[in-house]
């Protein structure tokens, strides 16, 4: 009997504090050098990013010099079969471990750890964590299968990166918007079902209002997704291939961020989606009729996350209509009971819509597509390649052939007609719906993400058996490019996460990152402006002058957790100026703000111009003031990323459209 995966992971790991040496004394001394260099640079006013990376590099050079001088021969060999592959191992280890260090440091700071001690404590914590994760990129034992080895190593590294950056990276505007859902718990909302609100509320109830508290629920969803996906993959492929498929299911861009990190509806949607696929497969392909009850539960949970999961229903119907064995299902009670189960789970959303004029169903069903029809197929394809890379697209031709291997191969494919029909139905039919919509309306970048879960076990099998596939060019791509590409991906994500959390030496934040970064400083500066207003301004309200990005970020950070005890901002949206602000219009009726003083923040001068604002106020501040967005934490220089603009309006008066 094969060993459990957890045991194989520990067989893979070399129990050493530092991957460059097995000597505890030398490892401790290298950590001392790391801390000494890092703190020397910090005390010389270098940024945290510059200091900790320089210390890490110095410690690494120290270990290399000891080995070259033959003073320390205790360390294992660097992973790789050639000088170039060994160099690749060193670079990938450095980038991933550097990111883990950055995540630990930033998380400790956001958890109110003393700023002078956080770099040292973060380096020590990351050294321990890295010995269980990133060190496997540099030195490791060899398992029976290279694919199992790669799958375990990179999956562990992805989960580690997610964990250390949960509390380290500022929430993106969408996460801040869904946090506002959690402040107004409800059975439903205009633009999404309620599960994300309950998830964020639960995380913050346990861990307080923080980036970590906001994201811990999605992180747990990511673990559940991985466990269920492994079970789904094992229905089609062997254990080693299933583990490698799990790597694809956490490392491709949509899954890296969407299934276990960002607090968006996609986190729970992907769990429900893979759960539905697992039970659909058992019910339709394996003819296990009790699995229909699992289908009903999964579909109900999915519809509490995002309505797009309903596309699996016509996909199942298509499979049933084509497959003779599956057509017998229509004569049984289980599929119909599954529908009832799904509706019962989904009933809170139905109730909310019933008492709100079916607002959410109307919004999702047509109101959001009121723009002039235009062909966006090219954009949809670009989005697909961005969120899952071209790899899954390369596997699609094999869906249409019964012989997937070359003529000389004796390998038997597990993907017979019924399995390929299942993948075809549950991938291409929903994809066709999105393509039809893209002929008229602009698609969102993440819409097709969950669809590719269906294909990943087959993609993994094709990569693992690339040398025996038919079609030479695809065979070469899968065999030569996949592994370095996947390692390159995790390196890119590592650099990206470190850049957004504590910055990178010598790199400036681009102007577009102003939507993502610096909003703790923004709210503190707005609070200062508010305190400088005359005392007779009884109610001062901050208004973000866009659909929801600015308002959401201001509301999230304008709380005592970021401004200090008893300090907060009163924030609302653009509906006060008769424009769209999504759920803020439901939560904050316009009439409640009559005669208030408004501090309005927008991205351009035009946003706060006289012609736009004058009808809504008794009088406006005569000047439009620039408002720089910047980062000054972690030793960053406070250089403006971009300028926004603000203006104060006195005596707000609602104007009917």
What pLDDT sits at residue 145? 85
Residue 365 has pLDDT above 80, yes or no: no
Confidence of residue 371 (pLDDT cuts 50, 70, 90): low
Please state, as a whole number, how many other Cβ atoms lie within 10 Å of the Cβ of residue 647.
25
What pLDDT sits at residue 366? 56
Lowest mean pLDDT among 18-22, 323-327, 390-394, 427-431: 18-22
Residue 191 has pLDDT above 90, yes or no: no
| DSSP structure class, residue 408 | T
Residue 310: both structure tokens together:
């309903």
Give the chain's end-to-end CA distance (angstroms, integer): 72
Confidence of residue 358 (pLDDT cuts 50, 70, 90): confident
Confidence of residue 534 (pLDDT cuts 50, 70, 90): confident
- Angle at which helix 211-234 crosses helix 265-284, to 10 degrees, equals 20
Residue 172 has pLDDT above 70, yes or no: yes
Report the pLDDT averaged over residues 574-590: 94
Residue 168 has pLDDT above 70, yes or no: yes
Residue in the structure block whose two tokens are 């499979």: 319
Residue 522: both structure tokens together:
């923004």
The Cα–Cα gap between 633 and 627 comes to: 18
Give yes or no for a contact between 443 and 378, defined as CB atoms under 8 angstroms apart: no
Confidence of residue 373 (pLDDT cuts 50, 70, 90): low
pLDDT in tens, 136-150: 999 988 887 899 999
In the chain, where the domains are located: 5-144, 151-361+377-402+413-464, 513-652
The Cα–Cα gap between 226 and 381 comes to: 26
What pLDDT sits at residue 17? 87
The Cα–Cα gap between 42 and 53 comes to: 11
Q: What is the number of residues in the chain?
A: 657
Please state, as a whole number, how many other Cβ atoms lie within 10 Å of the Cβ of residue 311.
18
Q: What is the 3-state secondary structure (H, E, C) of 230-266?
A: HHHHHCCCCHHHHHHHHHHHHHCHHHHHHCCCCCCHH
DSSP 3-state of 373: coil
β pairing state of 625-629 and 571-572: unpaired
What pLDDT sits at residue 367? 52
Give yes or no for a contact between 636 and 47, defined as CB atoms under 8 angstroms apart: yes
Taking every pair of C-alpha atoms in the chain, what is the biggest distance, in angstroms? 87
21 vs 283: which has the higher pLDDT = 283
Bridge partners, 627 (sequence order): 644
User: To the nearest whole percent, how much of the chain has pLDDT over 90?
Assistant: 85
Residue 466: both structure tokens together:
């690339």
Confidence of residue 311 (pLDDT cuts 50, 70, 90): very high
pLDDT in tens, 440-486: 888 988 999 999 999 999 999 999 999 999 999 999 999 999 999 99
577-612 burial, b for 16+ CB within 10 Å, e for fewer? beeebbbbbebbebeebeebbbbbbbbeeebbeeeb
Give yes or no for a contact between 256 and 249, defined as CB atoms under 8 angstroms apart: no
76 vs 495: which has the higher pLDDT = 495
Confidence of residue 560 (pLDDT cuts 50, 70, 90): very high
Residue 197 has pLDDT above 90, yes or no: yes
The Cα–Cα gap between 89 and 234 comes to: 30
Q: Output the average pLDDT for the chain.
A: 94
State the pTM of this model: 0.95
What pLDDT sits at residue 1? 38
Lowest mean pLDDT among 9-13, 103-107, 425-429, 573-577: 9-13
């Amino acid at each position: 009997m094969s060993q459990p995966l957890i045991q194989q992971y520990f067989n893979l790991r070399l129990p050493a504090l530092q991957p460059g040496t097995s000597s505890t004394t030398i490892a401790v001394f290298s950590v001392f050098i790391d801390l000494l260099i890092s703190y020397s640079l910090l005390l010389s006013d270098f940024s945290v990013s510059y200091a900790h990376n320089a210390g890490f590099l110095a410690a690494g050079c120290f270990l290399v010099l000891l080995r070259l001088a033959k003073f320390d021969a205790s360390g294992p060999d660097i992973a790789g079969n050639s000088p170039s592959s060994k160099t690749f191992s060193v670079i990938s280890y450095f980038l991933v471990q550097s990111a883990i260090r950055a995540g630990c440091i930033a998380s400790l700071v956001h958890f109110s750890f003393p700023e002078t001690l956080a770099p040292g404590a973060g380096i020590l914590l990351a050294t321990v964590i890295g010995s269980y994760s990133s060190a496997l990129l540099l030195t490791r034992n060899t398992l029976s299968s290279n694919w199992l080895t790669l799958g375990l190593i990179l999956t562990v590294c992805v989960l580690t990166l997610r964990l250390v950056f949960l509390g380290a990276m500022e929430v993106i505007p969408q996460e801040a918007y869904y946090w506002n859902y959690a402040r107004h718990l409800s059975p439903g909302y205009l633009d999404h079902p309620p599960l994300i609100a309950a998830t964020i509320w639960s995380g913050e109830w346990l861990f307080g209002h923080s980036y970590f508290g906001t994201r811990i629920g999605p992180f747990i969803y990511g673990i559940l997704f991985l466990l269920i996906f492994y079970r789904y993959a094992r229905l089609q492929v062997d254990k080693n291939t299933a583990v490698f498929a799990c790597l694809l299911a956490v490392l491709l861009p949509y899954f890296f961020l969407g299934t276990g990190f960002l607090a968006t509806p996609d986190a729970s949607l992907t769990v429900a989606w893979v759960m539905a696929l697992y039970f659909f497969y058992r019910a339709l392909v394996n003819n296990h009729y009790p699995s229909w009850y699992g289908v009903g539960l999964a579909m109900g949970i999915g519809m509490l996350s995002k309505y797009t999961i309903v596309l699996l229903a016509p996909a199942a119907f298509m499979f049933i209509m084509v497959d003779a064995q599956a057509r017998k299902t229509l004569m049984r009670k289980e599929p119909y009971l599954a529908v009832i189960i799904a509706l019962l789970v989904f009933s809170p959303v139905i109730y909310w819509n019933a008492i709100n004029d079916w607002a959410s169903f109307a919004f999702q069903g047509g109101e959001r597509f009121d723009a002039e029809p235009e062909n966006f197929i090219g954009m949809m394809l670009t989005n697909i390649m961005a969120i899952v890379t071209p790899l899954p697209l390369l596997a699609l031709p094999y869906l249409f052939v019964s012989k997937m291997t070359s003529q000389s191969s004796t390998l038997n494919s597990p993907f017979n007609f019924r399995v390929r029909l299942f993948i075809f139905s549950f991938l291409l039919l929903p994809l066709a719906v999105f393509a039809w919509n893209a002929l008229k309306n602009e698609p969102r970048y993440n819409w097709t993400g969950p669809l590719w879960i269906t294909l990943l076990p087959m993609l993994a099998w094709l990569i693992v058996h690339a040398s025996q596939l038919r079609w030479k060019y695809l065979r070469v791509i899968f065999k030569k490019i996949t592994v370095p590409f996947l390692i390159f991906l995790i390196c890119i994500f590592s650099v990206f996460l470190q850049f957004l959390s504590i910055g990178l030496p010598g790199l400036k934040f681009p102007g577009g990152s102003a939507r993502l970064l610096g909003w703790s400083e923004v709210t503190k500066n707005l609070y200062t402006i508010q305190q400088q207003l005359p005392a007779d301004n009884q109610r001062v309200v901050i208004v973000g002058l866009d659909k929801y990005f600015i308002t959401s970020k201001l509301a999230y950070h304008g709380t005592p957790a970021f401004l200090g005890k008893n300090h907060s901002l009163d924030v609302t949206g653009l509906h006060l100026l008769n424009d769209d602000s999504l759920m803020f219009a439901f939560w904050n009726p316009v009439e409640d703000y009559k005669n208030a003083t408004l501090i309005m923040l927008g991205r351009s001068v035009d946003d706060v111009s006289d012609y736009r604002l004058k009808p809504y106020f008794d009088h406006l501040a005569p000047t439009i003031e620039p408002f720089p967005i910047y980062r000054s934490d972690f030793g960053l220089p406070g250089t403006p990323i971009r300028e926004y603009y603000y203006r104060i309006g006195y005596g707000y008066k609602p104007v009917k459209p």
